Chain A
Amino acid sequence: AQTVTQSQPEMSVQEAETVTLSCTYDTSESNYYLFWYKQPPSRQMILVIRQEAYKQQNATENRFSVNFQKAAKSFSLKISDSQLGDTAMYFCAFMNYTGTASKLTFGTGTRLQVTL
């Protein structure tokens, strides 16, 4: 079974600053995907960024980037130029496949507050 650990229950950052959210995972699989999802108070789960385990290059999506350390099983999210709209719960998630269906395992989440 896979486990995903987020050790920071809450974080705060000022607008325009940079913040890094931590995530570690444990798996015996070699082919998997990692994600960061954002869940604002509206409760809609929004995909922020993804990383394929077989790719060494770290993924980047505009202000969001990851630091993927496969050997250390670490997958952190960096948010640059933080904006008030980034305030949300952030979940790290691990995806593997069982048959033809994908299975997501989520971490416990980090609540990020962006302040003025």
Chain B
Amino acid sequence: DTEVTQTPKHLVMGMTNKKSLKCEQHMGHRAMYWYKQKAKKPPELMFVYSYEKLSINESVPSRFSPECPNSSLLNLHLHALQPEDSALYLCASSQVKRAKSYNEQFFGPGTRLTVL
């Protein structure tokens, strides 16, 4: 199984709602990532988890709250978002670093989020 799954595929929420994005992989990867991609722009890294611990936070606003409850699952909790947060949210996973090795990041299909 070389697939990263993301749910939901589409999400529309108001600025006062609380919602969550879910990402799952069963490849035994111990690193998981959230990216944000605005229309016609490249993906931008938001968070990295390594061995279920937050490893990188790219100065993301606190209205985005990541969670990695186990090695297969990654959540992104959303609260009080702004319309400018509307974007495609991509999840990825990879092996963690080993000496002189390359660890491909496998991407999910993304969740398209619209904030009204």
For residue A47, which residues in chain B have a CB less than 8 angstroms away from its CB? 104
Residue pair A102, B103 in contact (C-beta under 8 Å): yes
Residue pair A100, B31 in contact (C-beta under 8 Å): yes
**Restricting to A73-98, which residues have a CB under 8 Å from any CB of B?**
91, 95, 97-98
- Identify the interface centre among B40, B45, B55, B105: most chain A CB within 10 Å of its CB: B105
Write the chain A residue with the least CB distance to B110: A43
Q: Is A72 an interface residue (CB 8 A)?
A: no
Report the contact-size class of chain A (Cβ under 8 Å from the partner): 20 to 34
- Identify the interface centre among A33, A101, A105: most chain B CB within 10 Å of its CB: A101
State how many angstroms separate the Cβ of A22 from the closest Cβ of chain B: 15
A95 to B43, CA, bound (A): 13
**Proximity bits, B72-116, A CB within 8 Å = 1, else 0:** 000000000000000010101010110000111101011010000
Which of A11-19, A62-70, A106-114 lines the interface with chain B? A106-114
Residue pair A107, B42 in contact (C-beta under 8 Å): yes
